[in-house]
Amino acid sequence: MFSTFGGLAALLAAIGVYAVLAFSVVQRRRELALRGSLGASAGSLSRLVLGEGLRLAALGIALGLLAALALSLLLSHFLFQVKAGDLASFAEASLVLFAIAVIACSLAAWRAARIRPLEALNAEG
C-alpha cells in the first residue's frame, strides 16, 4: 500500500514539475522565439529551459532535505528500528525525485526547442 501511494506521489510530482515548466515555456514563448530568430540554436534553447528547471528542482530538493531532517529529528521518538537521520533513505528519495525532475524538465525543454520563431513572433500575445 505504501509503495502504491509513493508511486502515485512520484507521478503527481512529475506531472507538477512538467506543468510548471510547460507553463513557463508558454509564457516565455515570444522571448524564446526572439532568441531563436537572433541565432540561438534549438540545443541552446533546450539547455536554457533544462538548466532553469533543474536549478529549481535542486533548490526544492535541498530545502526538502533540510525540512525532512528537521522533522525526522523532531519525531524521532515515534520511529522504531530506524535512525532519525537515515541518510540512505534521504539519498534514495533525493535521487528518485531528481530523476523525475530531469525527465519532466527534458520534456519541457524539448517543447521549447520546437518553437518556430516566425510563428511565435507573429502570434498575438
Q: pLDDT, tens digit, for every residue of 53-63?
A: 899 899 999 99
* Residue in 36, 58, 51 with CA at minimum distance from that of residue 109: 51
* Distances 125 to 28, 30, 39, 64 between C-alpha atoms, Å: 10, 8, 22, 36
Q: Are 26 and 112 within 8 A, CB to CB?
A: no
Taking only the tens place, the pLDDT of each residue in 24-34 is 888 888 888 88
Taking only the tens place, the pLDDT of each residue in 5-22 is 988 988 898 888 888 888
Q: Are 77 and 14 within 8 A, CB to CB?
A: no
